[in-house]
């Protein structure tokens, strides 16, 4: 759990990385961060101009995390992460979660695609 969060922070500090993907897909196995830990990650992402993926395949991150990103101005991006041809472009869960969190076009990394 602590090691995972440290690796996420390293990715955020890395200049070669723009988007953090699959954030939270391991939490059911390692435990969930506190809201304070979520805030720390989002603060760091805001400071370094990083975005987070909303994954339709893994249905992550949690709604509270998405809301926090929107509130803080951290950009989001949709992903199908398709492993089968039939799933390519299927972002329905991502879109639903984004809308449920109160997301608007300007909250997206590539808003021109919506």
Determine the distance from the C-alpha atom of residue 62 to the mean position of all C-alpha atoms in its chain, rounded to a whole number.
Answer: 9
pLDDT at site 114: 58
Q: In which domain, by residue range, is 25 found?
A: 2-113
Q: In total, how many domains does the chain have?
A: 1
Other beta carbons less than 10 A from residue 105's beta carbon: 9
Tens digit of pLDDT for each residue in 102-111?
999 999 998 7
User: pLDDT-based confidence at 63, cuts 50/70/90?
Assistant: very high
Instruction: Look at 39 and 79; give whichever has higher pLDDT.
Output: 39
Average pLDDT over residues 94-105: 97
Q: What is the CATH number of the domain that holds 10?
A: 3.20.20.140
**pLDDT confidence of residue 85:** 87
- Cβ–Cβ under 8 Å, residues 5 and 34: no
What is the per-residue pLDDT across 7-52, written as a single tens digit (0 to 9) for each? 999 999 999 999 999 999 999 999 999 999 999 999 999 999 999 9
The mean per-residue pLDDT over the stretch 52-79 comes to: 96
């Amino acid at each position: 759990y602590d090691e995972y969060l440290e690796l996420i922070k390293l990715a955020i500090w890395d200049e070669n990385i723009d988007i953090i993907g699959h954030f939270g897909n391991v939490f059911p196995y390692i435990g969930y961060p506190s809201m304070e830990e979520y805030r720390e990650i989002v603060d760091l992402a805001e400071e370094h101009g990083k975005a987070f993926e909303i994954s339709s395949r893994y249905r992550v991150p949690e709604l509270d995390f998405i809301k926090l990103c929107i509130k803080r101005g951290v950009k989001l991006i949709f992903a199908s992460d398709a492993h089968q041809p039939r799933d390519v472009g299927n972002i329905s869960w991502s879109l639903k979660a984004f809308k449920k969190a109160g997301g608007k076009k300007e909250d997206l990394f590539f808003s021109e695609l919506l």
